[in-house]
């Protein structure tokens, strides 16, 4: 039999043991009023438990182990954090514990109180031979309400973790939300392949410099392409020559240093996604709307946010070019719906959530979740895997939740910490 403390925590938390005639290992009558609050941080496993032993009611903490001897092995002896433990809950009582004050620690042994059926279902779930996720044979039978509630929970966990990274960048930018949003947005325009050079370009070109030239589109384009390293050589076409002329002047004026051009990747990409095209679209967005984050905070409707990015109009030069000095058949270089959705999902929704948390205004966090509910679900290997198991999703709210579920629960077999796993294991 393979037992884990996680399983014991699960059994204790949901009282899934035989509660008839409970007694401590020394024979005293035991009644459990409250198992306490599960503590996932340092210290005793369950806090603020309430029990009665004999005629005395106790309030304090409960500590769980597979064996009583684990108390010593885990270094709890002499640790003041465990002085307030009122009950030791173990599978096997192999080494009774005595506290520093000489008092024997009351112990409840669960070895003969856990049903074989419950253990077998747990074992099959966590230690089975599944290929995708531990509960792949059962997840399609989980009711929609349980699934929705848990995906909501893990989606918020995902956003809160990503918020920590935003806050770190915000601190580096001295609390400047506009600059931080601009840097994240730039990285998003590079998608996965060119996210790094886009981010480096944005960090090398502060937004306040662009704002000074908001009424001169050519200079905005010159600054962006120049800092991206695409104006180092002498171009042939008139448009890039004009850009270079403007950039050479502005580069000296602001003492700018461009990033290395070799960082940009063109290989194995559709021309429509070439970094030059994405830079042109990014420049068009900056020209159209300076101080974007303030504008996003003002726009309350999802359709308004979508229009902000969907209406980008690039310089006419890019209608017949994918790269400087290389003409191609005329093709519109509009920012497609899939690209708009990616930006809304990865940058706009994230920043609305982060700003709401930072300012203590739930209005913005609610807007972030509403936005995700209005973006189609992502189509990637994780969502495809879940689809084969009968889990069908329709919104980015759900697909982002599934990503968090797979990456931080299923992959680590944290079934007993997962709302779906708990539902599957619970007796009918």
pLDDT of residue 233: 92
Coil vs helix vs strand at 352: helix
How many whole angstroms separate alpha carbon 121 and alpha carbon 422? 11
Q: pLDDT tens-digit profile of 55-81? A: 999 999 999 999 999 999 999 988 888
Beta strands 85-92 and 107-109: pairing type? parallel
Beta-strand runs (E) in 54-183: 56-67, 85-92, 107-109
Taking the model in full, what pTM does it have?
Answer: 0.86
* Cβ count near 344 (within 10 Å): 24
Q: What are the per-10-residue average pLDDT scores of the chain (428 residues)?
A: 88 94 96 95 94 96 96 90 93 91 91 92 85 91 95 98 97 97 96 95 96 94 98 94 97 97 93 95 91 92 92 92 92 87 96 97 96 97 95 96 96 92 84
Q: pLDDT tens-digit profile of 84-126? A: 899 999 999 999 998 878 889 999 999 999 999 999 888 888 8
The domain locations on the chain are 5-114, 173-373
Cβ(349)–Cβ(368) under 8 Å? yes
pLDDT of residue 1: 63
How many whole angstroms separate alpha carbon 4 and alpha carbon 6? 5
Question: Which residues sit opposite 108 in a β-bridge?
Answer: 89
Nearest Cα to Cα of residue 217 among 310, 123, 139, 316:
316
How many whole angstroms separate alpha carbon 134 and alpha carbon 149? 20
Cβ(420)–Cβ(139) under 8 Å? yes
How many whole angstroms separate alpha carbon 390 and alpha carbon 143? 12
Nearest Cα to Cα of residue 424 among 399, 395, 396, 389:
389
Helix (H) or strand (E) holding 38: strand 37-38
Coil vs helix vs strand at 336: coil
pLDDT of residue 302: 92
How many whole angstroms separate alpha carbon 64 and alpha carbon 4? 11
């Amino acid at each position: 039999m393979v037992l884990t403390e996680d399983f014991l925590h699960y059994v204790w938390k949901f009282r899934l043991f035989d509660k008839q005639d409970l007694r401590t290992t020394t024979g005293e009558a035991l009644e459990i009023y409250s198992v306490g609050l599960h503590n996932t941080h340092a210290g005793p496993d369950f806090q603020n438990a309430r029990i009665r032993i004999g005629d005395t009611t106790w309030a304090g903490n409960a500590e769980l182990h597979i064996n009583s001897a684990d108390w010593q092995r885990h270094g709890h002896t002499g640790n003041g954090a465990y002085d307030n433990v009122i009950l030791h809950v173990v599978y096997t009582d192999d080494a009774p514990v005595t506290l520093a004050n000489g008092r024997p620690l009351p112990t409840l042994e669960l070895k003969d109180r856990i049903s074989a059926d419950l253990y077998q279902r747990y074992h099959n779930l966590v230690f089975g031979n599944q290929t995708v996720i531990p509960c792949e044979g059962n997840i399609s039978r989980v009711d929609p309400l349980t699934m929705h509630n848990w995906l909501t929970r893990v989606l918020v966990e995902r956003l809160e973790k990503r918020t920590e990274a935003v806050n770190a960048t915000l601190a580096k930018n001295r609390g400047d939300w506009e600059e931080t949003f601009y840097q994240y947005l730039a990285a998003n325009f590079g998608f996965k392949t060119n996210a790094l050079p886009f981010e480096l370009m944005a960090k090398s070109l502060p937004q306040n410099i662009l704002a000074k030239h908001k009424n001169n589109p050519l200079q905005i384009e010159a600054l962006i392409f120049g800092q991206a390293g695409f104006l180092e050589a002498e171009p042939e076409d008139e448009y890039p020559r004009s850009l270079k002329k403007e950039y050479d002047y502005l580069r000296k004026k602001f003492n700018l240093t461009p990033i290395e051009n070799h960082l940009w990747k063109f290989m194995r990409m559709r021309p429509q996604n070439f970094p030059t095209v994405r830079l042109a679209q990014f420049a068009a967005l900056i020209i159209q709307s300076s101080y974007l984050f303030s504008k996003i905070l003002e726009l309350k409707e999802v359709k308004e946010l979508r229009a902000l990015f969907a209406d980008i109009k690039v310089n006419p030069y890019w209608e017949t070019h994918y790269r400087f000095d290389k003409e191609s058949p005329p093709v519109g270089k509009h920012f497609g719906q899939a690209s708009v959705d990616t930006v809304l999902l990865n940058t706009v929704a994230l920043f609305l959530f982060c700003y709401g948390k930072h300012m203590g205004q739930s209005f913005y966090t609610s807007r972030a979740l509403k936005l995700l509910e209005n973006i189609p679900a992502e189509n990637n290997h994780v969502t495809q895997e879940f689809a084969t198991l009968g889990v069908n999703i329709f919104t980015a709210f759900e697909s982002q939740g599934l990503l968090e579920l797979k990456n931080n629960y299923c992959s680590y077999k944290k079934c007993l910490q997962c709302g779906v796993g708990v539902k599957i294991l619970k007796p009918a």
